[in-house]
Chains A and B, each alone.
Chain A
Amino acid sequence: EADIYQTPRYLVIGTGKKITLECSQTMGHDKMYWYQQDPGMELHLIHYSYGVNSTEKGDLSSESTVSRIRTEHFPLTLESARPSHTSQYLCASRRQGGTYQETQYFGPGTRLLVL
């Protein structure tokens, strides 16, 4: 069972608010990822990190930012939430090194509704 946690699990917030979605893992994984998934759609990569102080933007520009100050923690921040940000946000981690077949482990997700 994966040891990766996300809070909050559900969030309803008004337009224009700043929000931070938390993600933590206790597996010592160097690589961490944020994905956005709408119902019935594929996961889209928003941001990823190869380790402390390393962050990269993914394919989907979601007007969000991330930080990686500690290996185990990879928070995602939306400076000004909009209704278009309503979605499910999934955090994942993966071990550095190993083979190409090394898989990702996902957190339970945060369901965000912006009114």
Chain B
Amino acid sequence: RKEVEQDPGPFNVPEGATVAFNCTYSNSASQSFFWYRQDCRKEPKLLMSVYSSGNEDGRFTAQLNRASQYISLLIRDSKLSDSATYLCVVSLTGNQFYFGTGTSLTVIP
């Protein structure tokens, strides 16, 4: 079983739409959680960390459900520039990081 599972999509949404991605992780002892964004043929870049109480950064909201071992990312008012692959990342000890395959998002004009 993979450490991190994501729906690969693709998600094709119109500009202005709200879209949500989910991710599940297998190890209940995981300590840290992140969402990264990866543009085509580029390196991953941190979008936001995910805290136990949930957190928001502008149009992006991340939630963590430890009981169900899933993480979510909500994007409101989608922009064309949000088109990318979103990677769910989980770390057990803060040393090794496990990446999901990513969820592909295309925002359509």
Contact A100 B94 (CB under 8 A): yes
Name which residue of chain A comes closest to B88, CB basis.
Answer: A42
Secondary structure at chain B's binding surface: helix, strand, loop or mixed? loop
Q: Interface size class for chain B? A: 20 to 34
Interface mask (B1-35 → A, CB under 8 Å = 1, otherwise 0): 01010001000000000000000000000011010
CA distance A100 to B2 in the complex (A): 21
In the complex, which residues of chain B have a beta carbon less than 8 angstroms from the beta carbon of A20?
A: none
Assess A90 versus B44: contact at CB under 8 Å? Given A42-B4, A103-B34. yes
Assess A107 versus B43: contact at CB under 8 Å? Given A40-B101, A42-B102, A100-B32. yes
In the complex, which residues of chain A have a beta carbon less than 8 angstroms from the beta carbon of B49?
A: 101, 103
Name which residue of chain A comes closest to B43, CB basis.
Answer: A106
Q: Does any Cβ of B come within 8 Å of A108's Cβ?
A: yes
Name which residue of chain A comes closest to B31, CB basis.
Answer: A100
Name which residue of chain A comes closest to B45, CB basis.
Answer: A106
Assess A102 versus B94: contact at CB under 8 Å? Given A41-B101, A42-B99, A42-B102. yes
Identify the A interface with B (CB < 8 A). Answer: 31, 33, 35, 40-43, 45, 48, 50, 58, 90, 99-109, 111
A/B interface sample: 11 pairs, CB < 8 A: A31-B95, A35-B99, A48-B95, A48-B96, A100-B93, A101-B34, A102-B94, A104-B46, A107-B43, A108-B43, A109-B43
